[in-house]
Structure 1
Amino acid sequence: MRAFTTEEQDLTLSDLSKRVGLSRATVRRCLLTLQALGYVQSSGHFFRLSPQVLTLAQAYLSSSLLPRVAQPFLERTSDALGQSCSVSVLYGTEVIYVARSARRRLGSINRDVGTHLPAYCTSMGRVLLAYLPEEELETFFRGAELFPLTPFTIHDEAGLRRALDGVRRDGFCMVDQEMEVDLRSLAVPVHNAAGRVVAALHVSTQASRTSLEELMNKGKAALREAAAGMRPLLIGP
């Protein structure tokens, strides 16, 4: 289902086969199953996701404690900073937005709940990677494709490991135009009541509008305050 995007909502069997790297026969069987379940619609040779897909997201959002706890803190922090704020979790080599308060669209990517981005070049991703057990971090490096999205992207393992060391030392992560030119962000870890890092909280802004110093001075304290407020409410192992 992730082969469908906002820009390309209608795809043929051949399109999907190429995107997911499976044979046309296998993709066809998957599509027929998804269609029978109501998650995919077809028109001629084209397939698209149906509104029924939203029930999957709603099931997660209504059953998971994190989005419900995070949302009011995001709203207050976003209001205070005048910038978009998000909470994300790590899934494989990517981060997935599970809660968001948006003030304006930044960059070329439409970010909303459910958006997934590479972990290695985002502030939230680096926060979450920094607190992984070493064995899980090794698994990440074996599966991740590190490549330069901008001239500023750290895209080698040694450089990324140094950046993660800095996150552990400082307790926050600043990423400046590494995923997209003119986009910078600041993130802090979100701990649960047991002290485990379960998510990352971040604020993003345009580099042309907000200096690194301004983002650091205003953003770090606000994010840490919000993360501290969430902590006792996130009951779990």
Structure 2
Amino acid sequence: MSTSEADENRSDADAKRSDYVGALARGLAVIEAFGRTTPELTLSEVAQLTGMSPATARRNLHTLEELGFVKRHNKRFLLAPRVLTLGSAFLQAANVDEAVMPELRRIVTLFGDAASMATLEGTDILYIAHFSELRAARRTASVGVTYPAYATSMGRILLAGLPPAELAAYWHELRPTKLTDVTVTDRDALAAIVEEARRAGYTVAVDQLDYGITSLSVPVKNEAGRVVAAINTSGYSPRLDAQKLVEERLAELQVSAGRIAHLLARYPGLAHSLLR
């Protein structure tokens, strides 16, 4: 890198730091503290989960309450319905319904079960689209949900598409835990699975995230050939043989991935938002 390029990069980094609004970041951190296992939180719990002082957490909660994103019930705080506008704004602006949902519905029409699209968010996958006909009890796969990338087929195919430096950083940061008795947590074994996914262009996961979930995933690439998302077809493990799943569904899943990739050029908002 030349001296001028290095100076330019430092200038960009300095500009980003100077433009960083800590108050906004703290407000968003408070919203993200709520979840399936933490639907209601006390002030002290919010402070602990976000790493804020109680006074800072209180100011953020009060502001979010005034704005209608948080409500209070018996000295506990919970998210208000208005918070859904934050996620729906992305779905509308990125045209997810037009660019992605038709293909997920097509896959479910062909094979039943469920189909989803996700992208990487840190060490997790983040669901940005989902369609299902399933009625069985299972982990929720819906828009906005995150799960550990190492334990999902979409996560593994997304990891397979990372540049070497980013993948190395992921392995360094990863702290895998057993989610089922068969969840692979050995780093070498996971690395081999990801490498095989990169070579094959698809991957299957059986009972890795939760019992009864088998899924097949393929990557979605942008015009530059970069993996920006993944789509899957998934169903109930006792009814799905992994090899048969590949034989029956892989070709159609790849067709859908190709169609979505083609549509990204028509929806630049979605294409740009998927870039890491």
TM-score (norm 1): 0.92
Aligned residue number for residue 192 of structure 1: 222
Aligned residue number for residue 154 of structure 1: 184
| Contact 2:220-2:260 at 8 Å conserved across structures | yes
Residue 60 (structure 2) pairs with residue 42 (structure 1): no
Q: Distance in 2 between matches of 1:189 and 1:174?
A: 12
- Compute the displacement of 1:73 (Å): 0.6
| Contact 1:88-1:99 at 8 Å conserved across structures | yes
| Contact 2:220-2:258 at 8 Å conserved across structures | yes
| Contact 2:138-2:212 at 8 Å conserved across structures | no
Which of 154, 157, 174 is residue 127 of structure 1 equivalent to? 157
Q: For structure 1, which runs of at least 5 residues remain unmatched after alignment?
A: none
Aligned residue number for residue 128 of structure 2: 98
Q: Distance in 2 between matches of 1:231 and 1:195?
A: 9
99-108 vs 79-88, greater mean Cα deviation: 99-108
Aligned residue number for residue 245 of structure 2: 215
| Contact 2:154-2:218 at 8 Å conserved across structures | yes
Q: Distance in 2 between matches of 1:36 and 1:88?
A: 33
Which residue identity does 2:144 align to in structure 1?
Answer: G
Q: For residues 156-195 of structure 1, what are the alpha-carbon distances to aligned partners after superposition, in whole Å with 9 as ceiling and x for unaligned?
A: 2211111111001100010111111221111000112332
Q: Summarize the Cα distance change of 1:140–1:210 in structure 2 as closer, same or farther, 3 Å threshold.
A: same
Aligned residue number for residue 177 of structure 1: 207
Aligned length: 237
Q: Distance in 2 between matches of 1:118 and 1:105?
A: 23
Q: For residues 94-150 of structure 1, what are the alpha-carbon distances to aligned partners after superposition, in whole Å with 9 as ceiling and x for unaligned?
A: 111111111114553222111111111100001111111111112222322211111
| Contact 1:69-1:233 at 8 Å conserved across structures | yes
Q: Distance in 2 between matches of 1:102 and 1:179?
A: 18
36-45 vs 61-70, greater mean Cα deviation: 61-70
26-35 vs 13-22, greater mean Cα deviation: 13-22
Structure with higher Rg: it is 2
Aligned residue number for residue 20 of structure 2: none
Q: For residues 52-98 of structure 1, what are the alpha-carbon distances to aligned partners after superposition, in whole Å with 9 as ceiling and x for unaligned?
A: 11110011111124553111011111110111000001010111111
Q: Give the helix-richer structure, 1 or 2.
A: 2
TM-score (norm 2): 0.80
- Compute the displacement of 1:26 (Å): 3.0
**Alignment RMSD:** 1.8
3-state SS of the aligned residue for 2:185? Answer: coil
| Contact 1:89-1:96 at 8 Å conserved across structures | yes
| Contact 1:94-1:118 at 8 Å conserved across structures | yes
Q: Summarize the Cα distance change of 1:54–1:8 in structure 2 as closer, same or farther, 3 Å threshold.
A: same
| Contact 2:139-2:210 at 8 Å conserved across structures | no
Aligned residue number for residue 85 of structure 2: 55
145-154 vs 116-125, greater mean Cα deviation: 145-154
Q: Distance in 2 between matches of 1:11 and 1:177?
A: 31
Which of 79, 82, 87 is residue 117 of structure 2 equivalent to? 87
Q: Distance in 2 between matches of 1:77 and 1:69?
A: 14
